[in-house]
């Protein structure tokens, strides 16, 4: 772990407006570059726009493909790691995918593991808890509904993740209502695993019936909220300090994950007859 400046972009993304969405992304990237941001995270499906209807099939792209290649070019030009999402088509299956474009022009991807119930008729599940190594950092990416399953964060942490970015495309309600919802589980992901958690939501409308309340949150490895933003179209910039990481990881009574075990599980019914427990 090392000190790193990260940012989230709460951008609006319309369906079937990929070129327009890429232009909006570029504006955010330029702002982030001017502020010396090293890792910039965009919301879930921000390139193609979020949609859980059949219309998403018509705008899904392969990887590599036009948008993925453009993202890599942005990352290399601005010397920045950029996380951005699109609907990916691969052998007729559609995935909710988040790209990780590194500053050297290379690229990785994460496919959403846990699909929300409205997504299951359109999208396929990913099956790899990918972690990404870059310039002295190790990070993971989860997408929206993924964050409700603690074991995914555990797997990424066990593979070395020090930061997990969680882009969302979570509609309905106000930013304040979404904030109360996220505060139930996101601090726990940070605290239980002693990692930084950075989450952001889309903003505005997708123009096919969904509206997204703007929200970005950042948590330190103690589970403390270190920054929040409710401002649509905002760029939330956060400095993640290795001192916050070491405060937990180098203290034997604060760093719980190092003592994790996997005991055998046994179901005992009221009719069980044995030698005691």
11 CB-near residues (< 8 Å, 6+ apart): 21, 24, 25, 28, 42, 43, 46, 202, 203, 204, 233
Would you state the pLDDT for residue 63?
97
Residue 277 has pLDDT above 60, yes or no: no
Q: Mean pLDDT score of the chain, rounded to an integer?
A: 95
> Residue 207: pLDDT above 90?
no
- Which CATH architecture describes the domain 4-259? 4-Layer Sandwich (3.60)
pLDDT at residue 135, rounded to an integer: 80
pLDDT at 209: 81
Distance CA 170, CA 198 (A): 15
- pLDDT, one tens digit per residue, over 150-181 is 999 999 999 999 999 999 999 989 999 999 99
Note the Cα 124 to chain centre separation in Å: 18
Percentage, residues of the chain above pLDDT 70: 98
Strand blocks (E) in the chain: 4-9, 39-41, 81-90, 93-101, 107-111, 131-134, 137-141, 163-167, 196-200, 204-205, 211-212, 216-219, 225-229, 235-240
pLDDT surpasses 90 at 26: yes
List residues bridging with 228 in a β-sheet: 217
Residues 109-138 have pLDDT tens digits of 999 999 999 999 999 999 999 999 998 999
> Rg of the chain's alpha carbons, rounded to an integer?
19
pTM for this entry: 0.95
In the three-class reduction of DSSP (H, G, I as helix; E, B as strand; rest coil), residue 75 is classed as helix
Between CA 221 and CA 276 the distance in angstroms is 40
Q: Are 190 and 250 in contact (CB under 8 A)?
A: no
**pLDDT at position 272, please?**
61
Cα–Cα distance, 116 to 145 (Å, whole number): 6
What confidence score (pLDDT) does residue 105 get? 93
pLDDT at 138: 97
Phi, psi for residue 57 in degrees, rounded to 5 = -65, -30
User: Over the stretch 219-236, which tens digit does the pLDDT of each residue have?
Assistant: 999 999 999 999 998 899
Q: Provide the pLDDT for residue 273.
A: 61
The H or E element that residue 82 is part of is strand 81-90
pLDDT of 274 > 70? The answer is no
* pLDDT per position as a tens digit, 224-272: 999 999 999 889 999 999 999 999 999 999 999 999 998 999 998 887 6
- Angle at the Cα of 90 (from 98 to 58), degrees rounded to 5? 85
3-state SS class at 197 = strand
Q: Which of 121, 124, 47 is nearest to 90 (CA)?
A: 124
Q: How far apart are CA 89 and CA 263, in angstroms?
A: 40
What confidence tier does 276 reach under pLDDT thresholds 50, 70, 90?
low
């Amino acid at each position: 772990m090392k000190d790193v400046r990260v940012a989230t972009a709460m951008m609006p993304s319309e369906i079937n407006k990929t070129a327009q969405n890429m232009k909006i992304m570029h504006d955010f990237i330029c702002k982030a570059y001017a502020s010396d941001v090293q890792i910039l995270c965009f919301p879930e499906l921000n390139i193609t726009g979020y949609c859980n209807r059949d219309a998403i099939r018509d705008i899904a792209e392969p990887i590599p493909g036009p948008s993925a290649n453009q993202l890599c070019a942005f990352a290399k030009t601005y010397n920045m790691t950029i996380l951005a999402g699109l609907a990916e088509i691969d052998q007729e299956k559609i995935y909710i995918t988040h790209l990780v474009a590194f500053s050297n022009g290379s690229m990785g991807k994460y496919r959403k593991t846990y699909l929300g119930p409205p997504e299951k008729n359109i999208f396929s599940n990913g099956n790899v808890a990918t972690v990404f190594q870059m310039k002295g950092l190790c990070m993971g990416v989860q997408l929206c509904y993924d964050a409700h399953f603690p074991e995914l964060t555990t797997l990424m942490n066990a593979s070395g993740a020090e930061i997990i970015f969680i882009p969302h495309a979570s509609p309905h309600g106000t930013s304040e209502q979404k904030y109360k919802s996220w505060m139930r589980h996101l601090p726990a992901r940070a605290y239980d695993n002693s990692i930084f958690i950075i989450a952001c939501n889309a903003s505005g409308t997708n123009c096919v019936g969904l509206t997204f309340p703007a929200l970005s949150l950042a948590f330190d490895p103690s589970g403390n909220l270190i920054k929040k933003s409710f401002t649509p179209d905002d760029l939330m910039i956060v400095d993640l300090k290795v001192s916050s990481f070491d405060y937990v990881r180098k203290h034997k009574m604060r760093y719980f994950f190092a003592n994790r075990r996997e005991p055998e599980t046994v179901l005992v019914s009221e009719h069980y007859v044995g030698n005691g427990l």
